[in-house]
Chains A and B, each alone.
Chain A
């Protein structure tokens, strides 16, 4: 079990450019989550998937953000026309699908700096 993997770990981009982050969940975990964390704050929920279905999106997720999980395995989070306010760490997490009290396991995060 290799844990949740995120790529890239760090990304510096110019304002207005598009960026994409990838997340590979723990094998056989069918729930996958994206969170955003800014300095000094707790993780804020963005969206989650059950297999390939995106079941909930936060109001934080503007139209410039899109997430996919096409085959129910890895997921991508794309941010279009980046703004300086998008600078944050983007965290991916996964959990088994069954049970109410499942633990979610996080990856190491992808740091985004928009300059």
Chain B
């Protein structure tokens, strides 16, 4: 079965420091991977995706993600965290087993401390 795992419930980082939010995946076939961010009482906003090509994907708000096939990981990164980056982050994978549904991780709460 296709799945993603976000091993950290919460990540704390000081403002201005680099941040990493981890995601590992399990798929059969080529992975189509996504990152979304959710602010309180809001829907999910798309940040970036990996379909094919360069392993480093750049997205919105200065975020980027590194695809690593050998480690089956797709970690979200940002060189310098802002307090306004504090939110809930979800990794997702598109099911490739014959459906078009997207499967989400359990989320990681990012807290950026001033």
Contacts and interface: CB of A to CB of B under 8 A. Distances in A.
Interface of A: 4, 6, 31, 33, 35, 40-45, 48, 50, 55-56, 91, 93, 100-101, 103-109, 111
Interface of B: 30, 32, 34, 36, 41-46, 49, 51-52, 90, 94, 96, 99-107
B46 A33 contact: no
A105 B101 contact: no
A103 B107 contact: no
Q: Is the interface of A mostly helix, strand, loop or mixed?
A: strand
Contact of B90 (A43, A101, A108): A43
B102 A45 contact: yes
B98 to A, nearest CB: 9
B51 to A, nearest CB: 4
Most B C-beta atoms less than 10 A away, residue of A42, A43, A103, A108? A42
